[in-house]
Amino acid sequence: MQFKTLLFDVQKNVGHITLNRPEAANAINLELSKDLMKALMQCDEDPLIRAVLIKGAGPLFCAGGDVKGFAEKGEDLPHYHKQVTVHLHSAMSYLVRMDPPVVAAVHGSAAGAGMSLACACDMTLAAESTRFMMAYTKIGLTPDGGATYTLSRVVGVKRTLELALTNRLLSAEEALQWGIVTRVVPEKDLIQEATALAESLAAGPTKAFGATKRLVQSGLTESFEGQMKHESRSIAEMSRTADAREGISAFVAKRAPNFKG
């Protein structure tokens, strides 16, 4: 599959997605939203891909929407935004729902939809100097990319509103304290550590990872009893997999498991 605005390859069962509009701070336009959807769809469908790593080319992870492009649309901007968000939101849905865990390596800044993307990933590593900003209301718009869903569930309603309404910069350390970021690392180590994390996840029980992701998501809205029913069904379903049999056998034999996903 060919992409115009991102780089995509698979190494050691990890799908590497690199936002590749460095001249525009990797800002998301219609082409990038389409490419991101296609890349994540491939990650969801290819059984050889068992983890995903998302990163950005150039000095910034992602500056959000392509505001300069917005200015050129004139009266067509509402229709353009609908087109962009249809593809961007489909991409986010694949990201959140797929079995392979998704790791983000964030550097420079993640603003607007870039912050939404970082929040949607299962694990987010950030360079020490990274800054986060919602940025939407700064130009009279509202959040997209699922940020009002993912961010509010991580940091709560009050902090989400603070970030969305004041557009203040959030440091990497603050993002770590608030739970937006999984780990803060020196910039020189970011890609190495994020790649190592993605590769370790790619060696795990992929189906169990996906089922666990979906259980955690449903646990945010389900009743206690309803969630336990989901857990009961899920653990029984996972018990049928080859990875579960391998994991149990390896535990009994006191050896490292060899999961196949």
Alpha carbon distance 49, 261 (integer Å): 9
Domain assignments of the chain as residue spans, ordered by start: 6-202, 206-253
Residue 48 is given by DSSP the state T
Report d(CA 119, CA 99) in Å as an integer. Answer: 17
Counting as low any pLDDT under 70, the low residues of the chain are: none
The CATH homologous superfamily of the domain defined by 6-202: 2-enoyl-CoA Hydratase; Chain A, domain 1 (3.90.226.10)
**Backbone torsions φ then ψ of 200, nearest 5 degrees:** -65, -40
What's the confidence (pLDDT) of residue 147? 95
The reported pLDDT for the residue numbered 2 is 86
Residue 10 backbone phi and psi in degrees, to 5: -120, 125
Stated pTM of the model:
0.94
* H-helix or E-strand spanning residue 87: helix 77-97
Residue-level pLDDT at 158: 96
Q: What pLDDT, on a 0 to 100 scale, did the predictor assign at position 1?
A: 74
Q: Which residues contact 169 (CB under 8 A, 6 or more apart)?
A: 131, 132, 133
pLDDT of residue 36: 98
